Amino acid sequence: MVSTVMASERQRSALAKRVETIVANAPVFDIHTHLYDPAFRELLLWGIDDLLTYHYLVAEAFRQLDLPAEKFWSLTKSQRADLIWDALFVRHSPISEACRGVLTTLNLLGLEVKKRDLPSLRRWFAGQKFEKHLARCLELSRVERICMTNSPFDDLERQVWGKGFPRDKRFVAALRIDPLLLDWPRTAGRLAGWGYDVGGKLSPAVAHEVRRFLRDWTRRIDAKYLMVSLPPEFSFPGQTNGARLIEQAVLPHCRESGLPFALMLGVKRAVNPQLGLAGDGVGRSDLEALQNLCAGFPENRFLATVLSRENQHELCVLARKFRNLHIFGCWWFTNVPLVAEEMTRMRLELLGLSVTPQQSDARVLDQLVYKWSHFREILSRALTAKYSDLTRTGWEPTAPEIQRDVKDLFGGAFERFCGM
């Protein structure tokens, strides 16, 4: 009896080791980030000051700091980084997920964190050659390909696309269209300025011009999908400009170009505008809107992630009903081990392997290192538990089968869904 228990314990730890090794080494297609092709130069953030001034840390630092927000924003990036370092790493232990992420990154880059020596960390980063550092971050995170978030409405970014540049094969594009769907009156003015005939009320002729705009940008950037983030109150169908534009322009364009439409649901923008990017919040979405899209437009494919923990179970059930829906990522506030582990297990249990459980959402190149290292730990645990359940039935997953499964989770299922 004792020896049977020991044998099964040994088998379990051998399985855990096997899964861990496969997950640790599997290459990733990071399907949603805020990183840029190096041709965008300073738009691609990297280094210690950008790591420390990440908006996740700004939000946490404001809880400890008492200086007014205007004062904080009037400081240079390095001065802000100093304040955040002092508030979150020196005066308190850095146990939050975002703080831990900085330390995981530095540690895996080979830096000594225990000295708590910010000036020496800065000196190390200042000595790095960018191209080499990029290659190192990709190697450490095992990220093979990165999807950017590309907005024609961002003036800096638009200029770079306008000039043209040789594309770096490691970076692919996604067309982000929030202003089009959330602020039509202002966006119409901008489109008109760029030569699209969109004067007057929304009409079939205007929708036709919006489609022309989407076609032009899809081609220009070679977009792999279109995407938008939406507030909790988003509903569809509806008489809002956003809902009408989705129906009359975005979905027809996606059908014509064969691209999926990604919806990121549940963000409440600027809950505290004083915090800038750190001031956005979360609310529970009405997923009936997504259900209506999937059911009403079977020729379209939808990618979806939701920000509220309370929506996660409902989203999985929805994906079981519609094969034109693919769910992805533990987005933003859900990307903490407690919630990410719960979501990942729930998704595996309800959807098997037809899901893309994570995206990094990295805004700073170096963050790829921690975001993927932390998620690989979570995925290893979740998969080991699932495969162990199988072994108890006598079904023993082989190493090639596990490799195949992990490949699907790390971008393979996504590519198939998108027809890439």
Chain contacts with ligand FIX (rule: CB under 6 A): 34, 55, 149, 229, 264, 277, 332, 361, 363
User: Could you say which of Zn ion, ligand FIX, none residue 363 binds, taking C-beta under 5 to 8 angstroms by partner kind?
Assistant: ligand FIX
**Closer to Zn ion by Cβ: residue 30 or 361:** 361
DSSP state of 43: G
Strands 261-265 and 267-268: unpaired
60 binds Zn ion, rule: CB under 5 A: no
**Nearest approach, Cβ of 267 to ligand FIX (angstroms)?**
6
| Residue with the shortest CB distance to ligand FIX | 361
Shortest distance, CB of residue 123 to ligand FIX, whole angstroms? Answer: 28
Nearer to ligand FIX, 362 or 409 (CB): 362
Work out what residue 151 binds among ligand FIX, Zn ion, none; the CB cut-off runs from 5 to 8 Å by kind. Answer: none
- Pick the stretch among 114-122, 184-192, 357-365, 381-389 that binds Zn ion (CB under 5 A): 357-365
Buried b (16+ CB within 10 A) or exposed e, 221-241: bebbbbbbbbebebebeeebb
The CB-side HSE value for 1 (13 A sphere, CA atoms) comes to: 0
Burial class (CB in 10 A: 0-12, 13-18, 19+), 70: exposed
Residue closer to ligand FIX by CB (options 363, 407) is 363
> Minimum distance between the CB of residue 66 and ligand FIX, rounded to whole angstroms?
25
Please provide the DSSP assignment of 155-223 as one string.
HHHHHHHHH--PPPTTEEEEEE-HHHHH-HHHHHHHHHHTT----SS--HHHHHHHHHHHHHHHHHHTE
Amino acid at 262: A
Q: CB of residue 360 vs Zn ion: minimum separation in angstroms?
A: 9
Site string for Zn ion, 307-346 (x = CB under 5 A): ----------------------------------------
CB of 179 to ligand FIX, least distance (A): 12
Q: How far apart are CA 173 and CA 223, in angstroms?
A: 5
Nearer to ligand FIX, 19 or 362 (CB): 362
Query: By C-alpha distance, which of 171, 138, 153 is closest to 39?
Result: 171
Say how far apart CA 357 and CA 219 lie, in whole Å.
Answer: 28
What's the maximum distance between 2 C-alpha atoms anywhere in the chain?
80
Minimum CB separation from Zn ion for residue 130, in Å?
Answer: 23
- Using CB under 5 A, count the residues that bind Zn ion: 1
**Can you give the length of the chain in residues?**
420
Nearer CB in complex with Zn ion: 178/209: 178
Residue nearest Zn ion, Cβ-based: 361
Peptide bond into 94 cis (omega under 30): no
Q: Which does 301 bind (CB under 5 to 8 A by kind): Zn ion, ligand FIX, none?
A: none
Q: Near Zn ion by CB under 5 A, which window of 106-114, 127-135, 172-180, 360-368?
A: 360-368
Picked from ligand FIX, Zn ion, none, the partner binding residue 332 (CB below 5 to 8 A depending on kind) is ligand FIX
Task: Give the phi and the psi of residue 87 in degrees, each rounded to 5.
Answer: -70, -40
361 contributes a contact to Zn ion by CB under 5 A: yes
| Residue 289 interacting partner from ligand FIX, Zn ion, none (CB closer than 5 to 8 Å by kind) | none
Q: Which residues contact 413 (CB under 8 A, 6 or more apart)?
A: 326, 353, 354, 355, 356
What gap in Å lies between CA 325 and CA 327, rounded to an integer?
Answer: 7
CB of 361 to Zn ion, least distance (A): 4
Write out the residues near Zn ion by the rule CB under 5 A. Answer: 361
